Amino acid sequence: MTATANRSDTIDKHAATLADLEKHFGSGVFTCSNFLDQTRIHVSADRAFEILARLKNSLGFSMLVELGGVDYLGYPQRSRPRYEIVYIVLNLDTTERLIVRATLADHPSPEIASVVPLWPGANWMEREVYDMYGIRFIGHPDLRRILMPEEFTAFPLRKDYPLRGRGERHNFTRIARSDS
């Protein structure tokens, strides 16, 4: 079986889902692309929640497999906005797996609607994305840092944050032998 045949199989597998989305939202809301047999739906951040809600409530994608963030600052030949939130959703009945990528423009504090109302399991994943990228999830019940210390002020996975930090790792008091 050739790679082309594989790709067409994948498109066929998602045909019903994509047709439903197309019918429901019309054209221009989202675009689709294929990469390595994976179908991805690109949507802007302000419409992402509607797409995901449709997938969850009407199309049977009951499981949120993964939620992550990407910062494409300085990425070669990049035409879309700087940030992306990647949702991987799974239909447990048909084992259909879709990738939804929501794009966010470059902003000091980007915002997107939280999907915790759809999948409660997104709670900690959105907290991690907020911790690393500073993307605020509107409607999140408890948007705090989850990995970094609470007094940390930067968002370390942003590409404009230096790899070695800004001295936060050494901003502690020193205990000498005479102090202890």
Binding site for other proteins (CB under 8 A): 73-74, 148-149, 154, 156, 159-178, 180
Helices (H) and strands (E) in the chain, counts: 4, 7
Residue 132's H or E segment, with its range, is helix 122-133
- Name the residue nearer to other proteins (CB basis): 25 or 152: 152
Measured CA to CA in angstroms, residue 83 lies from 4, 64, 74 at distances of 30, 20, 11
Least distance in Å: CB of 3 to other proteins?
32
- Name the residue nearer to other proteins (CB basis): 36 or 176: 176
Least distance in Å: CB of 171 to other proteins?
5
- Beta-carbon count within 10 A of 105 CB: 11
- Name the residue nearer to other proteins (CB basis): 5 or 163: 163
Start-to-end CA distance of the chain, whole Å, equals: 70
The residue behind tokens 């008091």 is: 173
Least distance in Å: CB of 180 to other proteins?
5
Structure tokens at 140: 């999140």
- Name the residue nearer to other proteins (CB basis): 141 or 165: 165
C-beta separation of 20 from 59 below 8 A: yes
Least distance in Å: CB of 108 to other proteins?
14
